[in-house]
Amino acid sequence: MPARSLALSMRLLGRFQRHRNLSGLVNISAAVFGMTTLMLLVQISGVASMAYEVQRLEDLRTYWQESNYRAETEIASLQSLPRIEEEATPRLKMVPAKEPIPVMMSGPFQARPSLPEAIRGPSPKAGSGQQWWQGILDLMDQVRRTS
């Protein structure tokens, strides 16, 4: 009997050790499941807050677009010729011309260059192969010569 009881004790001890490993596995899997759930919750929360931020920015863009449209409408109304005439007559004491004065031009309108030719220099030809810095050096040389 003592040998039998010893064998039974050893078998029970082996089962207990197997159950200890099983309980550790259950604990580890519960921890992994909890961490996974927590990560999923954090990601869903991030997506929800990002969606609110996108909605807020779209509302802000809509507000500024409407503001721009109102400003463009106001600019157009202020630039209208009837409004300018209506404003010029009483406030500036202007009167309409008795006879229109025609203006004749001899040729097409040519705008004057904004800088004198000596400062601006000749315009570079496309594909001339000059480096951009060479153009700057030439311009500096021209300015030095005219000074």
Place of tokens 């309980």: 23
Joined tokens for residue 20: 């200890």
Written as one string, the DSSP assignment of 135-146 is HHHHHHHHHHHH
- 24 occurs within a structural domain: yes
Distance (Å, rounded) from C-alpha 139 to C-alpha 119? 7
> How many Cβ atoms from other residues are within 10 Å of residue 80's Cβ?
10
Which residue range is the domain that position 29 belongs to?
Answer: 2-62
Domain count, the chain: 1
- 29 occurs within a structural domain: yes
pLDDT value for 19: 55
Q: Is pTM, for the whole model, over 0.75?
A: no
10-residue averages of pLDDT along the chain (147 residues): 62 57 76 92 92 93 93 88 85 85 76 57 54 73 74
- 34 occurs within a structural domain: yes
Distance (Å, rounded) from C-alpha 58 to C-alpha 147? 56
> How many Cβ atoms from other residues are within 10 Å of residue 121's Cβ?
16
Task: Answer yes or no: are the C-beta atoms of 119 and 141 closer than 8 Å.
Answer: no
pLDDT value for 84: 84
The conformation of residue 127, written as its DSSP 8-state character, comes to: T
Tally the residues of the chain: 147
Task: Give the torsion through C-alpha atoms of 19, 21, 27, 31, to 10 deg.
Answer: -150
- 52 occurs within a structural domain: yes
- 53 occurs within a structural domain: yes
- 138 occurs within a structural domain: no
The conformation of residue 123, written as its DSSP 8-state character, comes to: P
